[in-house]
Amino acid sequence: MAAVRRLIVHIGTPKAASTSLQAWLAGERSRLAAVGIDYPALAQADSGHRRLALGLEGTLGQAARQKEIERLSHVLAGTPADAVILSAEQFEGAPEPADVPGLIAAIAARHGFRPLALAVVRPRPGYLNAVYAQHVRRLFTAERFGPFSVRMEGHPRFEYPRRFKPWSDRKDMDFAAIPLTASELSGGIGPRLLAAAGLAAPPDAGPAPRLNVTPGPATIEAFRRLAAQSGRRRLGRCDGPARAALETAAEAAGWNRSRFSGLAADLAARIEARFADADDAFARRFWGRSFAEVFAGERAASAGSNEWNGPAPESAAIDDLVADILARYGRPERVSERLTRRWRIPG
């Protein structure tokens, strides 16, 4: 009897090394193919499979849904590989009525594949910290971390076990969770994901790039101040270039030598306590240990807050940069020569 081929579906979670993983898989595509692993390129300028995930859940309309069903069927019917990998954070967040896990399982079965859903999990406080940094960098909020964390704690995106349930409780699909810890990922996120599926990485594969990393506290403060001045509204269509310019300037100024953390001890403890029972049950089911035991090292390493709470040496420079960003990108007709010269941003 021929061995069942595997369809490995990396479902996230968000802010858990997905961008780095997808870049590694895309960069190693030819080497993976040489050892019988297919990481299909389904869309230009997308190292992952975001469009496939959104299409299958129906977000892009019924015509797009049917097109993505046919696209996935075509990949599975035509590949000579023993394993196919799909990766998109949007798989994990698909609305339950769309039954994306069931749809994928049915398509896989028709082509002789057994699906395995893989989720990468990080401690809730670190996840919330990363989500905050992302929201500030996109100018969605000018809040400090404390109020933001209180507001977001009840958001459904933080209910790991409930969000995984459509994937983890199926009879026609396997499920595994990978804890995002230094020890688990010592060999890299790519090889670790393959190992969870019983596969080995190509012997000549390179390391995964570090992408979408949380910036330093001064950079976060600069984005927060820009957001506080209605930056998103005032920048309009120049929002993207303006944020990129701020990132470039902050990096040149050396503001990212350490990563931002708003995790004061009391905040981290409160966040952990809120989800403790559900997290512990999940950890014991899939890892055979408590959640606290699995993430003990990460909890110790992330302890403490470096969020700004008053004047600091870079405060005047941050105000200066924010003013220049708004002068250049908020009013394109008034290009700031000082911004170009001082912050080394191309004109």
Over residues 164-221, the pLDDT tens digits come to 999 999 999 999 999 988 777 767 889 999 999 999 999 888 888 777 789 999 999 9
- State yes or no: pLDDT of 157 exceeds 90: no
Cα gap 127→179, rounded to integer Å: 12
Least confidently predicted of 61-65, 211-215, 226-230: 211-215
What is the side-by-side order of every strand in the sheet holding 174-179?
A: 37-38, 83-87, 5-10, 113-121, 174-179
Q: Do β-strands 262-263 and 37-38 pair in parallel, antiparallel, or remain unpaired?
A: unpaired
- State yes or no: pLDDT of 300 exceeds 70: no
Arithmetic mean of pLDDT, 110-130: 92
Confidence band for 303, pLDDT divided at 50, 70 and 90: low
Nearest to 149 by CA among 267, 310, 278: 267
User: What pLDDT, on a 0 to 100 scale, did the predictor assign at position 343?
Assistant: 52
Average model confidence (pLDDT) for the chain? 87
Rounded to the nearest 5 degrees, what angle is found at the Cα of 5, between the Cα atoms of 93 and 160?
A: 20
Are 87 and 42 contacting, i.e. CB atoms less than 8 angstroms apart?
A: no
User: What pLDDT, on a 0 to 100 scale, did the predictor assign at position 301?
Assistant: 59
Are 298 and 123 contacting, i.e. CB atoms less than 8 angstroms apart?
A: yes
Cα gap 226→239, rounded to integer Å: 11
pTM as predicted? 0.87
Confidence band for 12, pLDDT divided at 50, 70 and 90: confident
- State yes or no: pLDDT of 336 exceeds 60: no
Can you list the domains of the chain with their CATH numbers? 5-130+154-196 (3.40.50), 217-258+310-343 (no CATH), 268-304 (no CATH)
- State yes or no: pLDDT of 294 exceeds 60: yes
More confident residue, 271 or 319: 319
Q: Please state the three-class secondary structure of 103-115 as a single string.
A: HHHHHHHHCCEEE
> Please, where are the H alpha helices in the chain?
18-27, 29-34, 50-57, 62-78, 100-110, 124-137, 145-152, 160-168, 189-196, 217-228, 231-235, 239-252, 265-286, 291-294, 296-301, 315-325, 337-343
Nearest to 117 by CA among 174, 188, 185: 174
CA distances from 313 to 171, 224, 235, 255, 318 (A): 58, 17, 27, 11, 10
